[in-house]
Amino acid sequence: MKKGYLVLESGDIFEGMMVGSQSEAYGEVVFNTSMTGYQEIITDPSYAGQFVTFCYPLIGNYGINSFDDESDRPALSGVILSDLCLTPSHYLSMKTIGEYLDAYDVPCLFGIDTRTLVKKIREQGTMKGVLTTNPEASIPSLDVNLVEKVSTKSIQEYGDSGPLVILIDYGHKKSIVQSLVKEGCKVLVVPFTTTFKQIQSLHPDGVVLSNGPGNPMTLAPLFPEIKKITETYPTLGICLGHQLIALVNGGRTRKMRFGHRGGNHPVKELDTGKVLVTAQNHGYVVDDTSINTDVFSVTYRHVNDSTIEGMRHKHLPIETVQFHPEAHPGPSDTHYVFKRFVEMIKQTGGMHHATAN
């Protein structure tokens, strides 16, 4: 454990103590407001290329267990927090958060004033930074394809029987797979570059476009394939998947000033007027003015800023949500989205692919 620094592109420097990797790391500095669920957040592939600042002051008090990981290893660039608990207390705890991050060579800066840092991000927007033991460190350019970094390299199979759902992996959380299996589906997780023809050869009953990191426009070369896939099979888009469906249908996305990241975001279901509490993690949003209302209806809106949180195609079995219905970590108000998707597959006969070209 030694002295460490967060150097921001604004020139601000935060000094604290460093555990985990001691080598220099670069990333976009974001914050998450969740009070619990730090293990799920640290292992969510959507945080690839980012430093996650935890707003909750004490992190690590229940340790790390063996089953709450959302992926095989952390994809984030680093962790920033106020008070690091080195003596966790929980009967399932296997190791401390410091030991866990150390094992994967992820740097963790703690002992800084996270309130000041979060305030700065809220005022100036997310910005690049470096976690380092050298306060003179400079920040390089960070433009990389983050999806490529976290997507599966080979097909993975889950579940035994039921409708066959292809999950296109842009950086999926394992809770999405578990939710689909729980609803009686067989799931094949496939690489993000999988083509329409390759998906046709698997004869699925439905397709899910997963969550994932980064700017959805970096995937523009894949848009023609994604469009063919979504027009042929019942489709559910989650988070990045929601943004991709908007983009391939002529919509636009824009970067938010500091994004939605936390476990208590209120979302209004426009059909019913109900407000649901949701888990979210995104820095981009679908631009309101770009949606073709002859093709899509908006189904959900964020209560705080009215941004689009979901869409439904008016003619095809396509639905999208910006929030995380698998809710790990977070409330399970919106788990029914998976049930509705499975119903949609059944209503289209589970053989929608028979109409494929």
- Out of 302, 324, 352, 353, the active site residue is 324
Contact status, residue 305 vs residue 268, Cβ threshold 8 Å: no
- Is position 324 annotated as part of the catalytic site? yes
For residue 213, which of 25, 50, 8 has the smallest C-alpha distance? Answer: 50
Distance between CA atoms of residues 36 and 33, nearest Å: 9
Nearest-10 Cα torsion for 234, 188, 193, 40: 100
- Is position 242 annotated as part of the catalytic site? no
Task: Tell the burial category of 286 from Cβ atoms under 10 Å away from its Cβ (0-12, 13-18, 19+).
Answer: buried
- Out of 239, 302, 319, 352, the active site residue is 239
Task: Tell the burial category of 315 from Cβ atoms under 10 Å away from its Cβ (0-12, 13-18, 19+).
Answer: exposed
- Out of 28, 326, 352, 353, the active site residue is 326
User: Is the bond leading into 74 cis (omega within 30 degrees of zero)?
Assistant: no
Q: Which amino acid is at 255?
A: K
Q: In Å, what is the CA distance from 343 to each residue of 183, 317, 336, 340?
A: 10, 11, 10, 5
Length of the chain: 357
Q: Two tokens at 70?
A: 């959302």
Nearest-10 Cα torsion for 258, 260, 266, 270: 100
In the DSSP assignment, the letter for residue 348 is T
- Is position 239 annotated as part of the catalytic site? yes
Active-site residues: which are they?
239, 324, 326
